[in-house]
Amino acid sequence: MQTGKVAVVTGAGSGIGKATALALVADGWQVVLAGRRAQPLDAVGQLAQERHQAADRVLAVPTDVTDAAAVQQLFARAVARFGRVDLLFNNAGRGNPAGSFLDWSAADWQDVVNTNLNGMFYCLQQACRVMRDQSPQGGRIINNGSISAHTPRPNSAAYTATKHAVMGLTKTAALDGRAWNIAVGQIDVGNAVTDLAAPMATGVPQANGEIAVEPMIDVATVAQSVLYMANLPLEANVLFHTVMATRMPFVGRG
């Protein structure tokens, strides 16, 4: 079990972020919960207390990752409370706008880019600054990519474009982070049971035009994958990790 290590988890109020934050707490980490709304973060903190008597190891910081100043304050509060940051799970994100991309407004497109790419960069930048300057130097960053970082779904231009961009961000940060003992990797998740992926259970468009129900995996399985990556020694890095429902239509999609 880890002791004394500090993690920042964005998008921690629900889904993969919530499951991962609780898995980290269970493993002995001190965890900073970031998300737009205070109430879900407080609920996660309450669960951490009920399950692990860990109120002193959890800090909730409502944060809009699209606001660079708010992200800077998030990391400042993490350091003020726990002294350092050993892990960023860069998880906050949103799905694709509804309807055909032909009908999206500029704001529809920008909302996805602002969260999935700009917010990801702001958090990575601040984490790297903290990890560079702390002693002992270094840490780990795990970006939440997606199966769509590799292969698109129909009518997913905004989500897919941002997730492809996250892959580029992961690669360049993994390269640049070497100078400060920062390991950067990416987890690509296929069909975990979350609110974002809920439509998979009722049927989603396939490349051939059909609507099909897709297999799902428990979000706790994803959390354990993140925990595995997080607990590696800094001299080792999982650059890309894909965890998915075994029978989901990914390999051979299209």
Q: Catalogue the active-site residues.
A: 159
- Which three-class secondary structure state does DSSP give residue 66? coil
State how far the Cα of 129 lies from the Cα of 121, in Å rounded to an integer. Answer: 12
State how far the Cα of 145 lies from the Cα of 139, in Å rounded to an integer. Answer: 19
Cα atoms found within 13 Å of the Cα of residue 128, Cβ hemisphere only: 22
CB 164 within 8 A of CB 113: no
Closest to 23 (Cα-Cα) out of 179, 227, 185: 227
State how far the Cα of 40 lies from the Cα of 74, in Å rounded to an integer. Answer: 17
The strand ranges marked E within the chain are: 6-10, 30-35, 58-62, 87-90, 139-144, 182-190, 204-205, 211-212, 240-244
CB 141 within 8 A of CB 173: yes
State how far the Cα of 239 lies from the Cα of 249, in Å rounded to an integer. Answer: 23
- Report residue 43 CA to chain centroid gap: 19
State how far the Cα of 37 lies from the Cα of 44, in Å rounded to an integer. Answer: 12
Residues 6+ positions from 43 with CB-CB distance below 8 Å: 13
